[in-house]
């Protein structure tokens, strides 16, 4: 019986090493999938800002912001922060901004339910990976940390 258990433990360790090897790719895929979602939404808003402003005026109810400001700010957040997320630039901060933005989007659209609400929930959960884990090895954050170390200086806070 012990022999079988040792085999399972050895197999589990090897499997873990294989998964560790692909870990950076997993981080990158999560960032790119999320970035595409927000990028496409931002470009859609930008393509017809008049319609976007009208939506923010009559459909979305963003607290504390006038519709014109909310429309432009929403578009800018989606475009700028999706690009930063894809690149892995200030990844944890970027993921936090998009996470909060996602919550505001859910709150601002009271008719959101069913599959659309579930989709927003999934994006929020996926954003937790770069928020808690950082950009990973295939990110500009990693490159910045390497550059700071080569210069012999401590990396600034937030560069992991």
Q: What does the alpha-carbon distance between residue 72 and residue 103 come to, in Å, rounded to a whole number?
A: 18
Q: What is the pLDDT of residues 101-152, one digit of tens each?
A: 999 999 888 788 888 899 999 999 999 999 999 999 999 999 988 888 888 7
Tokens, residue 6: 């040792």
Give residue 116's pLDDT.
87
Q: What does the alpha-carbon distance between residue 10 and residue 13 come to, in Å, rounded to a whole number?
A: 5
* Interacting residues of 3 by C-beta distance below 8 A, sequence separation 6+: none
Q: Is the dihedral of CA 84, 90, 91, 92 positive or negative?
A: negative
How far from chain centre, in Å, is Cα 122?
Answer: 11
Q: What is the pLDDT of residues 25-77, one digit of tens each?
A: 999 999 999 999 999 999 999 999 999 999 999 999 888 899 999 999 999 99
Q: What pTM value is reported for the model?
A: 0.85
Tokens, residue 147: 């550059």
Give residue 143's pLDDT.
92
Q: Cβ distance 94 to 38 under 8 Å?
A: no
Domain ranges of the chain: 26-150
Q: What does the alpha-carbon distance between residue 7 and residue 115 come to, in Å, rounded to a whole number?
A: 43
Q: What average pLDDT does the chain have?
A: 90
Taking residue 94's Cβ as centre, other Cβ atoms within 10 Å add up to: 27
Give residue 152's pLDDT.
74
Say which residue the tokens 């109810």 belong to.
61
Give residue 1's pLDDT.
53
């Amino acid at each position: 019986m012990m022999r079988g258990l040792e085999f399972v433990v050895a197999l589990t360790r090897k499997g873990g090493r294989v998964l560790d090897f692909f870990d950076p790719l997993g981080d990158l895929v999560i960032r790119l999938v999320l970035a595409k979602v927000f990028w496409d939404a931002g470009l859609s808003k930008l393509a017809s800002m008049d319609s976007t402003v009208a939506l923010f005026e009559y459909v979305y109810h963003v607290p504390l912001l006038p519709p014109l400001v909310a429309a432009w700010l929403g578009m800018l957040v989606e475009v700028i922060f999706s690009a930063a997320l894809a690149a892995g630039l200030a990844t944890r901060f970027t993921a936090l901004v998009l996470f909060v933005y996602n919550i505001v989007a859910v709150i601002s659209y009271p008719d959101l339910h069913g599959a659309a609400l579930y989709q927003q929930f999934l994006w929020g959960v996926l954003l937790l990976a770069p928020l808690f884990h950082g950009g990973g090895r295939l990110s500009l954050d990693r490159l910045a940390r390497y550059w700071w170390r080569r210069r012999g200086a401590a990396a600034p806070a937030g560069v992991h």
